[in-house]
Amino acid sequence: MQDHNKRFVERDRNWHPPAYAPGYKTTVARSPQQALVSMQQASTSELTGPDFRHLRMGSHDNDLLLNFRQDPAQGQGLPVGERIIMFGRVVDQFGKPVPHTLVEMWQANAGGRYRHKNDRYLAPLDPNFGGVGRTLTDEQGWYHFRTIKPGPYPWPNDPNSWRPSHIHVSVMGPSISTRLITQMYFEGDPLIPLCPIVHTLKDADAVETMIGRLDMARSKPMDCLAYRFDLVVRGELQTYFENQ
Amino acid sequence: MLRETASQTAGPYVHIGLALAAAGNPTRDEEIWNEMAKPEAEGEHIEVVGTVIDGNGDLVRDAFLEAWQADANGAYQPEYDLKKPFNSFGRTATTFDHGSEWSLKTVKPGQVAHPNGQPMAPHINLAIFARGVNVHLQTRLYFEDEADANAECPVLSRIESPTRRQTLIAKREEIDGKVCYRLDIKLQGEGETVFFDF
């Protein structure tokens, strides 16, 4: 099988957050106590994954300013908040672009309220904001969204825990081995160092991989600011001498 | 070499982003969801269901799962296309409604070869994401009625404890004449599901 000539760089599980991170209380009952079982040799099952080039997307699937408008015919109904472009490149650990891969995102509105029935935070919903986007990277691995900068919100962890502004980001990459869900935080947000979920990471450099950077060059004067968020997925290698 | 972007939990509202219908929100024309096999797909049509349970024995009612499996002939079909009768990829979720079960409508996968040349027993690869799960958990669902293949499977055999192997075996049930397999995923504690690193 051709796929058996591939392998992905091992995931560094000391770089990623551990399953059990008691400062983030929900992990206490949701973390395995047993060791993960290492496959040793990945098979076609792990080395392959879905390709979404034939998924039919709507024209505004990556534009959260327009994809939940209540009354687009009137030219009205834009969401309230800081208009931003969120963009970046998906590359692997060797810097190789990952083209045509699915990038999805979801977020709260400008007030920190999610369009989800379990979110009962008193900040109101925005009738013109849904908070969901998806797109495919282009030939060079670039993706773009247009959205509203989400607000921080309180959550019942410590008596006064607040999430920093963040956008949840999901990327598939070339196989289920590269599958990754993370969160993009915003450069300079003083809530980042206070957050128990950010603190699940032990390494400050790992936190840096989750920070979207203000990019004035990509902003649109008199229209919107831009934040750049590059994603790095596991590197893909060929295994030339397997079983020889 | 660059470092991989760090993982974070999918959080409590993952459904609004990746499981729109389960969140009760409007859906787009095409969504990636749990009907992996249409009625015309080749193979034995099955439903795969289960719950996700935390270390206290309580239901996890906000999990999001992804499935990746071979078709009935043991071939992965990477090209995701809702026009096709079968897709190798699917998504499902548990919510505060519907008994908090996840479900996939699919066909029973065929056998796929391990790189060592041996066939692996039929299986569905599952990834579990949820609030309180910092890096998604990777597991496999095997089938109770494939006992011979399961006994020979080079991946199941990697699990040192035979008792723990059982945590991956879905039980066959028949509901209204339809074949259904159940696998409850236990995140922690007694009967803890085996999770893989690959």
For residues B114 and B86, give the distance between their C-alpha atoms in angstroms, rounded to a whole number. Answer: 23
Mean pLDDT of A94-100: 97
Query: Which class for B142: exposed (0-12), middle (13-18), buried (19 or more C-beta within 10 A)?
Result: buried
Residue of chain B whose alpha carbon sits nearest to that of A242: B115
Range(s) of the domain holding residue B79:
29-186
pLDDT of A140 over the 70 cut: yes
Of B5, B54, B80, the CB nearest to A29: B54
Residue of chain B whose alpha carbon sits nearest to that of A104: B17
Give the ipTM: 0.97
Does residue B171 form part of some domain?
yes
pLDDT band for A4, please (50, 70, 90 cuts): low
Give the residue ranges of chain B where pLDDT is below 70.
98
| Selection from B124, B102, B125, B127 nearest residue B50 by Cα | B102
pLDDT of A2 over the 70 cut: no
Tell me the residue ranges of DSSP E strands in B64-157: 64-69, 89-93, 102-107, 112-113, 119-120, 123-129, 137-143
Q: Residues near A217 by Cβ (< 8 Å), separated by ≥ 6?
A: A226
Does residue B158 form part of some domain?
yes
Cβ-Cβ contacts under 8 Å, B15 against chain A: 116
User: Scanning the structure block, which residue is given the tokens 């979920």?
Assistant: A197
CATH code, B127: 2.60.130.10
CA A237 from centre of chain: 24
pTM confidence score: 0.97
Binary contact (A115, B192; C-beta < 8 A): no
For residue A76 the two structure tokens come to 């009205």
User: What residue spans define the domains of chain A?
Assistant: 6-238
CB of B107 within 8 A of CB of B71? yes
pLDDT of A37 over the 70 cut: yes
Is A153 designated active site?
yes
Does the domain at A6-238 match CATH 3.40.190.290? Answer given as: no
| Selection from A105, A97, A7, A108 nearest residue A48 by Cα | A7
Longest dimension (CA), chain B: 54
Q: How many residues does chain B have?
A: 198
Query: What is the pLDDT at residue A242?
Result: 62
User: What value does the mean pLDDT of chain A take?
Assistant: 95
Q: Of A7, A24, A89, A153, which is the active-site residue?
A: A153
pLDDT tens per residue, range A43-80: 999 999 999 999 999 999 999 999 999 876 766 799 99
For residues B181 and B124, give the distance between their C-alpha atoms in angstroms, rounded to a whole number. Answer: 12
Query: What is the pLDDT at residue A244?
Result: 47
Of B13, B113, B135, the CB nearest to A106: B13
- Distances A230 to A147, A184, B2, B134 between C-alpha atoms, Å: 17, 10, 12, 20
pLDDT of A238 over the 90 cut: no
Q: How many domains does chain B have?
A: 1
Binary contact (A43, B5; C-beta < 8 A): no
Mean pLDDT of A86-115: 98
Q: How many helices (H) and strands (E) does chain A have?
A: 3, 14
Query: Which class for A244: exposed (0-12), middle (13-18), buried (19 or more C-beta within 10 A)?
Result: exposed
Rg over CA atoms, chain A: 20
Of B2, B17, B129, the CB nearest to A106: B17
- How far A220 CA lies from chain B's nearest CA (Å)? 27
Cβ-Cβ contacts under 8 Å, A26 against chain B: 9, 131-132
Query: Which class for B29: exposed (0-12), middle (13-18), buried (19 or more C-beta within 10 A)?
Result: exposed
* Range from A59-63, A165-169, A234-238 carrying the lowest mean pLDDT: A234-238
Cβ-Cβ contacts under 8 Å, B155 against chain A: 39, 43
